[in-house]
Amino acid sequence: MALAEHIVMRELDVPDIANFDVYRKHGGYETYRTVLKEKAPSDIVQVVRDAGLRGRGGAGFPTGVKWSFLPKDVYPRYLVCNCDESEPGTFKDHQIIDLNPHQLIEGMAISAYAIESHTAYIFARGEFATAVRTLEYAIAQAYAAGILGKNILGTGYHLDMYVHRGAGAYICGEETALLEALEGRIGQPRLKPPFPAVSGLYGKPTIINNVETLANVPLIVERGADWYRSFGTTRSPGTKVFSLSGHVNRPGNYELPFGVPMRELIYSPEYGCGMRDDRPVKIIVPGGASSPWLLAKHLDVTLDYESMTAAGSMLGAGSMIVLNDTVSAPHAAYKMDEFFKHESCGKCTPCREGTHWLVRVLHRMTEEGHARPEDIPTLHSIYNQMAGNCFCLLGESAVTPIKSALSLFPQEFEDLVPQRNGRPMIALDAKR
């Protein structure tokens, strides 16, 4: 059942909410005003904690808990909004900025006050040139109205907000690689600990939150934790914007409370409207390219962090790619691992070499049609050498597509090896 009222995709309830005046008319920035005039920063941290808001960038870590990791009495502190949305299948933050940018800015302003920060950056992926222009204009509107800048709304609080554009690198979604890019270096992750909350931008305490996470903050603060918890499940409270793509009739972003079965998202006439040409579901990638694959038999698994983990996958950023029976599992694994190979930053050997060899073997098997009998054990060997040995999660994520494909569709790999008289035939291609 569709939400009567949206928390993030409010453009569906209030047409033209992207317009500054419309946003103001519908109570926009009033929560921020109340916060500045009547609340202490610790009150905001507490309500976000009580609401159980979990990070929407993929990890699902409780936001209020993250905020409470800041060391006492160390300043300045920075707030950074992670808008490096680049994982195949993910396109929610892009839409939030296009259609409801002021709610993000208000959420950032409240969050910056909560963590006692006076400088906030939005790190947007380089390809988001249009979204950057939208944000810069919306931020200028907020400055012009006295909502950002010095002595905000007469309270003495000051906050500056800037957009920093990346330049094309998925790895910058990893929070420490993001900080490297924000500091003007190549986007390679830092060793953790220390975590950014302790030592982040310029070595100062820094909180990094996803776009959707921050866009949830204004309504949580306005209406309280109990109201927020009336949506979703006990351990996954609230609503989530799910990005649905692939072979569905109506791909798009849909905001649902946590706990709705995948079947409803894919088949409901309010959301995905079923599969194209009524073909069957073959592969569900429920949380972006780094999430383990699920099958049609999992359609009744519900969309919340715990159920997805129990089913052997993960909710991630809620980016569901649904593929039908025309897709070859080895080829889908090849395309997804090609993504990780392209985006590997080159810092650590297991990821840099592992993704290279996975793609080389998979390319030969799928695109060139020269699979060899030893390719299958080779693939198992490569991903086993990567798993648990990479510097950051990018390399670990690259293990997922190939491991999923080999375990769920082993026969499709066997079938790629040419046979003669019932025995595998070794191809005599020039590229040996």
Partner 1 sequence: MLLEQHKADIDAIRSRYAERRSAVLPLLYIAQDVYGHLSDAAIREVAEILDLPPTDIFEVAGFYTLFYTREVGKWVIQVCDDVPCCYLGAEELITALKDTLGVKEDETTSDGMFTIQRVKCLAACHRAPVVQANLDYFYDVTADKVDALLHALRERAARGDTLSVSGHRAEDYEIAADGSAQMIERRLGPMPASPAVGAPVDHETSAGS
**Binding-site string for partner 1 from residue 92 to residue 111, where x marks contact by CB under 8 A and - marks none:** -xx---x--x----------
196 touches partner 1 by CB under 8 A: no
Give the interface segment with partner 1, choosing from 49-57, 144-152, 262-270, 353-361 (CB under 8 A).
144-152
Q: Which listed residue (69, 71, 75, 151) binds partner 1 by CB under 8 A?
A: 151
Cβ atoms of 189 and 174 within 8 Å: the answer is yes
Q: Which stretch binds partner 1 (CB under 8 A): 109-117, 134-142, 292-300, 385-393?
A: 134-142
Least Å from the CB of residue 89 to partner 1: 6
**Among 31, 64, 67, 91, which residue sits at the site for partner 1 (rule: CB under 8 A)?**
91
Report, in Å, the least distance between residue 393 CB and partner 1: 17
CB of 68 to partner 1, least distance (A): 25
Is the distance from CB of 182 to CB of 142 less than 8 angstroms? Answer: no
Which part of the chain contacts partner 1 (CB under 8 A), choosing from 106-114, 184-192, 232-240, 306-314? 184-192
**Half-sphere exposure in the Cβ direction for 100 (13 Å, CA):** 27
Stretch that binds partner 1, among 48-56, 179-187, 356-364, 402-410 (CB under 8 A): 179-187
Half-sphere exposure of 66 (CA within 13 A, CB side): 23
Number of neighbouring beta carbons within 10 Å of residue 30:
13
Work out how close the CB of 34 gets to partner 1 at its nearest, in angstroms, rounded to a whole number: 10
Rounded Cα distance between 163 and 97, Å, is 12
Kindly tell me which residue out of 111, 141, 268, 400 binds partner 1, with binding defined by CB under 8 A: 141
- CA 354/CA 27 separation, integer angstroms: 52
- Tell me the closest approach of the beta carbon of residue 276 to partner 1, in angstroms: 9
Asked whether 427 and 418 are in contact (CB, 8 A), the reply is yes
Q: Which of 32, 113, 128, 258 binds partner 1 (CB under 8 A)?
A: 128
- 3-class SS of residue 163: strand
CB of 149 to partner 1, least distance (A): 8
Query: Is residue 137 a contact point for partner 1 (CB under 8 A)?
Result: yes
Report the chain's terminal Cα–Cα distance, integer Å. Answer: 56
Number of shown-chain residues binding partner 1 (CB under 8 A): 81
From 114, 118, 111, select the one nearest 43 (Cα to Cα): 114
Whether the bond into 62 is cis, omega within 30 of 0: no
* Interface characters, 2-21, with partner 1 (x: CB under 8 A): --------------x-xxxx
> Is residue 192 part of the contact set for partner 1 (CB under 8 A)?
no
Omega within 30 of 0 (cis) for the link into 377: no
H helical segments located in 117-254: 129-144, 175-182, 211-223, 225-229
Q: By CB under 8 A, what part of segment 31-50 binds partner 1? A: 33
Our CB check for partner 1 shows the closer of 29 and 228 to be 29
Interatomic CA distance for residues 34 and 38, integer angstroms: 6
Nearest to 131 by CA among 175, 89, 100: 100
Confirm or reject binding of residue 410 to partner 1 (CB under 8 A).
no
Q: Which one of 158, 279, 342, 360 is in contact with partner 1 (CB under 8 A)?
A: 342
Is residue 388 at the binding interface for partner 1, with CB under 8 A as the rule?
no
Number of C-beta neighbours around residue 261 at 10 A: 16
Q: Which of 42, 130, 230, 309 binds partner 1 (CB under 8 A)?
A: 130
Compute the least distance from the CB of residue 336 to partner 1, in Å. 6
Give me the phi and psi of 378, to 5 degrees please.
Answer: -65, -45
**58 vs 166 by CB, closer to partner 1:** 166
Binding mask 311-340 for partner 1 (x = CB under 8 A): --------x-x-x--xx----x--xx--x-
How far, CA to CA in Å, does 317 sit from each of 57, 176, 290, 351? 5, 18, 10, 22
For partner 1, give the closer residue by CB, 251 or 259: 251
Out of 12, 22, 408, 427, the only residue in the binding site for partner 1 (CB under 8 A) is 22
Write out the E strands in 294-340.
319-324
Counting contacts by CB under 8 A, is residue 89 touching partner 1? yes
Give min distance, CB of 300 to partner 1, in A: 23
368 binds partner 1 (CB under 8 A): no
Half-sphere exposure of 241 (CA within 13 A, CB side): 28
- Residue 338 or 353: the one with the smaller Cβ distance to partner 1 is 338
- Contacts of 112 by beta carbon, 8 Å cutoff, 6+ apart: 79, 118, 119, 120, 159, 161
